[in-house]
Amino acid sequence: MGKDLLLLTLISLPLIGAAINGVLGKKMPKLIVGSLATIMVFVSFLIGLTLFSGLDKTTIVHLFQVAKFDDFTLDANFQIDSLSIWMTLIITGIGSLIHLFSMGYMSHDEGYHKFFTYLNLFIFSMLLLVLGSNYFVLFFGWEGVGICSYLLIGFHYNDAEKGIANSLAARKAFIMNRIGDAGLLFALFMMLNKFHTLEFVEIGKMITASPELYTGIACAITLCLFLAATGKSAQIPLFTWLPDAMAGPTPVSALIHAATMVTAGIYLTVRSNFLFELAPTTKDIILVIGIATTVVAAFIAMRQNDIKKVLAYSTVSQLGLMFVALGMGAYTVALFHVTTHAFFKALLFLGSGSVIHAMSDEQDIRKMGGLSKLTPITHITFLIGTLAIAGFPFLSGFFSKDEILAHAWMSSPIVYGILMIAVTMTAIYMFRLYFLVFHGSFRGGEKLKSHVHESGLSMTIPLMVLAVLSVFGGILNLPGIVFHNAGHWMSHFLESTTYGLNQIETEHMDGKQSIILMCIASVVALSVMTWAYITYVKKQAVAKEDADMNAWEKLSSNKLYIDELYQTIFVQPILWLSTTLGSQFEQRVLNNGIFRLTSAIEASGNYTRKWQSGFLSSYLFWMVMGIIGFISYYIIKSTFWN
């Protein structure tokens, strides 16, 4: 099979899975529904591997023309290059593991087939997003993942207790994303206006040919693109939806709100690197926003008591870290962190899912404790995930974070210093979470304790695979201190065929400095670990109740009051405007006006129908009048018509 056929199969398999499950899923046994969805994604992964191994140059596959206008066309084109294939591998690889996990996790759920339909649809949209060769297809995927995310966050919308909250969370995510989407649309229109095409490579070539022509517009476009990225990737100011999105089932949080969809903003930025390179202002803004997000989110995460909320804020914080890398122009480094983060954050979320499953849907860490003996596999894998994200030496997170820190050090020691604070906070909240959940004594009561059990194989296998990946993921992009030839393999791979990246020189730090930085990072991670161990295990400290907190802790626990702020500044005035318009304008002006108008028109019917008298003589009279009218028209017209 040719590459194009392989690619089309790769994209369409999840869609076929969604179609089959969507139409027939209700009548099929759960095992078949789940397996079908999982296999579809897994086969896509295998095809992705095939394409990956045969990758030599950028290939563009033309599927069909969507629309043609005077000076531009919109095509459904797909692009095979190192960036798109790399993202495909992450999406389908992690996606199939999470599908497998969901087969166990969702086994008691009524909407089983619906869940897998949405998941497959999500994978399809995500593949469109990363494989499209122009912003148009990307936009399709972008909106597709948005709607899937909405559907999945509100998946339990009819839950007796949390149904309303779930729906509100879904709505919030959707609205926040729409704000970002508006940015993307603006960027698209500007690009169409300026370049008359939306193809990545063509725009890139135009810019490379004469960069000085485009500096002004590039700044505007990239700002809009970045607005889109802040929506999808949950950066300040649009980040509040992501923690709420944890209302969705846990596999969804793992797949969509940690590993794949939220990295779409980073993908978008890396894909448009040629534009961002022209706009240093935008890059500075990205850097600042990234730093702010990573610190703020890490701060909030320290005093959250919902196991998934901690991980959610941690995701926001890590995404901020990636944007810091993007702001410094280190595109491949950001993608390296995307990759390792996908491994360990998926692992952590699935681990938390396993915990929640074991705890009969209890998510409050104050009610957990001592789970290490009750759920041994979950415990070990969760520990690995924690160590990876906290930057324990030689695990995947250690390497990827170290790269970002190294770049920060090269750009400015202040940035480095702030990032170190964020990294330290990351270690603190993660170890706090880990020790509170798995060590100490069980705080949920005897009744709950008797139900706690280790999850089934379909849930533990993905955990183990992800744990292995989290440990060894760093090999992908070693700093090249020991094995010089193996170093920065991933950066070189991505730069090989992705347009734009091959023209950007990524600086790498020399050996001595990077060893020093690594040592600092290791020391921080290890000391935080020891401190947390002493606090939470030796001293048996438990998360405080709200009343006992000091001001800082309250600030963190209440998420810096950002939700309340947005509520006051944006939501309330809009609601007020809406109700006012509804009661005043709609009721009084529109309703009355329209009813008056229609009754006036209907009433006029009473007059016009009287013309139809029923008398033949009158009909003939009017016909003659008509002809006389015609002749008079002629007379008038012929006087003036010449």
Partner 1 sequence: MDAVIIIFITGLIGLFVGMLKKSELTLAVTSIGLIGGFISMFLINDYESIFSTYAGLTFSRTQQMFALLAIGLTLLAVLMGYVYYKEEDEHTADYYGLILFSLTGALCLIGFSNMFMFFLGLEILSIPIYVLVGIQKGNSLASEASVKYFFTGSFATAIMLFGIALIYGSTGSFDLNEIRMAIDMGMSHSPMLNIGVLMMMAAFMFKVGAVPFHFWGPDVYQGSSNAVMAYMASVVKLAALFAFVHLFNFTFNQLTPFVSGLVLFAIIVSLFLGYISALKQTSFRRMMAYSSIANTGFALFAVLNQQFGEASLWIFMIGYACSTVALVTINMIVEKDTDELTNWKGIGYSNPLIGITLVISLLSMSGIPPFTGFFGKYLLLSSAFANYLPFVVLAIIASLIGAYLYLRLMVISLSREGEGQKIKMTAIQALVLVLCLAGVLGGWLVLLIK
Instruction: Give dist(CA 359, CA 353) in Å, integer.
Output: 10
**Residue 570 contacts partner 1 per CB under 8 A:** no
CB closer to partner 1 out of 160 and 603: 603
- The contact mask relative to partner 1 for 385-414 (x = CB under 8 A, - = no) is ------------------------------
Report in angstroms how near the CB of residue 165 gets to partner 1 at its nearest. Answer: 36
CB closer to partner 1 out of 29 and 605: 605
The residue count of the chain comes to 642
Q: What is the DSSP string of 326-366?
A: HHTT-HHHHHHHHHHHHHHHHHHHHHHHHHHHHTTS--BGG
Instruction: Give dist(CA 214, CA 208) in Å, integer.
Output: 10
CB closer to partner 1 out of 453 and 637: 637
Residue 73 backbone phi and psi in degrees, to 5: -125, 155
Using alpha carbons, select from 499, 478, 495, 474 the residue that is nearest to residue 487: 478
Residues whose CB is less than 8 angstroms from the CB of residue 216 and which lie 6 or more positions away in sequence, other chains included? none
- Identified binder of partner 1 from the candidate list 53, 450, 550, 642, rule CB under 8 A: 642
Task: Output the furthest CA–CA distance in the chain (Å, rounded).
Answer: 111
Cα distances from 464 to residues 322, 506, 588, in angstroms, run 26, 34, 64
Instruction: Give dist(CA 128, CA 145) in Å, integer.
Output: 9
Q: Which of residues 613-632 bind partner 1 (CB under 8 A)?
A: 614, 616, 618-620, 622-623, 625-627, 629-631
CB closer to partner 1 out of 527 and 604: 604
CB closer to partner 1 out of 2 and 605: 605
Report in angstroms how near the CB of residue 587 gets to partner 1 at its nearest. Answer: 21
Report in angstroms how near the CB of residue 64 gets to partner 1 at its nearest. Answer: 16
Amino acid type, 565: L
Show the tokens assigned to 151. Answer: 């559907």
Instruction: Give dist(CA 45, CA 399) in Å, integer.
Output: 25
Q: Which of residues 232-291 bind partner 1 (CB under 8 A)?
A: none
Report in angstroms how near the CB of residue 62 gets to partner 1 at its nearest. Answer: 22
Report in angstroms how near the CB of residue 595 gets to partner 1 at its nearest. Answer: 12
Report in angstroms how near the CB of residue 192 gets to partner 1 at its nearest. Answer: 24
Report in angstroms how near the CB of residue 593 gets to partner 1 at its nearest. Answer: 14
Show the tokens assigned to 426. Answer: 């990351």
The answer to whether the CB of 400 falls within 8 A of the CB of 337 is yes
* Selected range binding partner 1 among 199-207, 229-237, 552-560, 633-641, rule: CB under 8 A: 633-641
H or E element at residue 236: none
Report in angstroms how near the CB of residue 607 gets to partner 1 at its nearest. Answer: 9
Q: Is 279 helix (H, G, I), strand (E, B) or coil?
A: coil
Give the binding-site size for partner 1 (rule: CB under 8 A).
Answer: 29
Report in angstroms how near the CB of residue 624 gets to partner 1 at its nearest. Answer: 9
Q: Compute the half-sphere exposure of residue 213: CA atoms within 13 Å on the CB side of its CA.
A: 10
CB closer to partner 1 out of 57 and 640: 640
The answer to whether the CB of 449 falls within 8 A of the CB of 442 is yes
CB closer to partner 1 out of 472 and 595: 595
Show the tokens assigned to 528. Answer: 């935080």
Q: Is 17 helix (H, G, I), strand (E, B) or coil?
A: helix
CB closer to partner 1 out of 572 and 604: 604
- The contact mask relative to partner 1 for 578-617 (x = CB under 8 A, - = no) is --------------------x--xx-xxx-xx-xx-x-x-
* Selected range binding partner 1 among 102-110, 133-141, 391-399, 634-642, rule: CB under 8 A: 634-642
Report in angstroms how near the CB of residue 639 gets to partner 1 at its nearest. Answer: 12
Residue with tokens 């494989």: 131
CB closer to partner 1 out of 565 and 623: 623
Q: Is 76 left (phi over 0), alpha (psi -120 to 50) or beta?
A: beta
CB closer to partner 1 out of 561 and 622: 622
CB closer to partner 1 out of 27 and 610: 610
Instruction: Give dist(CA 272, CA 180) in Å, integer.
Output: 16
Q: Is 440 helix (H, G, I), strand (E, B) or coil?
A: coil
- Identified binder of partner 1 from the candidate list 441, 485, 550, 638, rule CB under 8 A: 638
The answer to whether the CB of 471 falls within 8 A of the CB of 388 is yes
Task: Name the residues that contact partner 1, by CB under 8 A.
Answer: 598, 601-602, 604-606, 608-609, 611-612, 614, 616, 618-620, 622-623, 625-627, 629-631, 633-634, 637-638, 641-642
